[in-house]
């Protein structure tokens, strides 16, 4: 048996109003059209749908069972239409986001809360992991987008790169806090907490020290800038980190000062190049990149399909 949605709607309207005339008015169609829909529907189900009592059409005992299910079907269709409208208006859906561990506990949660504030039907899965695993997820289209660094490109991905400016951080009360600008030679006697030696950001830092005729006083090597911020906030050492990470710790005992020469920390927002990303995903990516504006190097954003990136978060 194949039923038309209009037949189901007419059946419910007649059952609720008790009249072909009233059902036609509810549906906005002619009385003959309702009669024809009821006749065809009755033939499809194989039994009489209504009986007339005191001038009112009442469902037969058989059609009462059918009416309950028809009402559930039509209610679900109404819900489906509401869902379609929400998706079209980007108020409903699900986004799967992979990110570096540092983002999961610092900048990203606030961005997500703001993004979801006027999208009550949108849900998010947020999964932190190391860059290598994140890339595997995006290539396999297991996640809609990802926030990573050290990305050197892959043909199965599209990346939007954002350069974050770097700053020097030190504990409260540090003598160097009196300086408005600091260079490598100013901190060569300080115990330095820095990113991994095999990271592009460390290579920039190493070059900056060499060009300033200074030596790096290496103390602790970390993978994530957030780890460096935590150590310095507890009163130990100094570090050159992204301004984005430093800002999250400003109220936890950090002094933040400009560092010269300017070192750029490159973030990459990835998505599968073959994935059918919803407009909602692009809206989130825009919201996230816009949130980085206070920390970026001017004119730094670009989109690429498999090129090169940098450092540690």
Model confidence pLDDT, tens digit, residues 243-259:
999 999 999 989 999 99
Q: Indicate the helix (H) or strand (E) that contains 166.
A: strand 157-171
What confidence category does residue 233 fall into, taking pLDDT thresholds of 50, 70 and 90? very high
Within 10 angstroms of residue 198's Cβ, the number of other Cβ atoms is 10
pLDDT of residue 305: 63
pLDDT per position as a tens digit, 263-288: 999 999 999 988 667 788 989 999 99
Please give the model's pTM, rounded to 2 decimal places. 0.67
What confidence category does residue 11 fall into, taking pLDDT thresholds of 50, 70 and 90? very high
pLDDT of residue 193: 98
Q: Token match 């060569």: residue?
A: 188
Q: What is the mean pLDDT of residues 34-54?
A: 91
Q: Cβ neighbours of residue 78 under 8 Å, at least 6 residues apart?
A: none
pLDDT of residue 303: 67
Indicate if the pLDDT at residue 162 is higher than 60.
yes
What are the φ and ψ backbone dihedral angles of 58, each rounded to 5 degrees? -115, 140
Name the nearest CA neighbour of 160 among 271, 243, 53, 265.
271
pLDDT per position as a tens digit, 90-99: 667 889 999 9
């Amino acid at each position: 048996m194949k039923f038309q949605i209009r037949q189901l709607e007419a059946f419910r309207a007649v059952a609720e109003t008790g009249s072909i005339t009233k059902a036609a008015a509810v549906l906005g169609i002619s009385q003959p059209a309702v009669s024809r829909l009821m006749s065809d529907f009755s033939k499809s189900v194989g039994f009489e749908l209504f009986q007339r009592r005191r001038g009112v059409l009442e469902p037969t005992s058989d059609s009462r069972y059918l009416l309950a299910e028809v009402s559930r079907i039509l209610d679900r269709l109404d819900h489906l239409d509401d869902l379609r409208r929400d998706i079209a208006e980007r108020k409903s859906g699900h986004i799967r986001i992979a990110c570096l561990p540092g983002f999961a506990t610092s900048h990203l949660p606030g961005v997500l809360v703001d993004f979801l504030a006027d999208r009550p039907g949108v849900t998010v899965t947020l999964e932190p992991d190391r860059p290598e695993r994140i890339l595997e997820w995006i290539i396999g289209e297991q996640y809609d987008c990802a926030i990573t660094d050290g990305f050197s490109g892959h043909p199965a991905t599209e990346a939007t790169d954002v350069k974050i400016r770097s700053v020097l951080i030190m504990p409260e009360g540090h003598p160097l806090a009196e300086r408005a600008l600091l260079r490598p030679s100013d901190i060569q006697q300080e115990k330095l907490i820095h990113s991994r030696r095999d990271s592009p950001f460390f290579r920039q830092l190493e070059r900056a020290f060499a060009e300033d005729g200074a030596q790096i006083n290496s103390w602790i090597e970390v993978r994530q800038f957030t780890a460096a911020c935590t150590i310095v906030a507890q009163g130990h050492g100094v570090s050159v980190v992204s301004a984005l990470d430093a800002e999250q710790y400003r109220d936890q005992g950090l002094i933040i000062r400009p560092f010269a020469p300017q070192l750029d920390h490159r973030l990459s927002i990835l998505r599968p190049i073959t994935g059918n990303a919803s407009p909602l995903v692009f809206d989130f990516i825009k919201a996230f990149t816009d949130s980085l504006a206070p920390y970026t190097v001017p004119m730094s954003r670009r989109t690429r399909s498999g090129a090169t990136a940098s450092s540690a978060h």
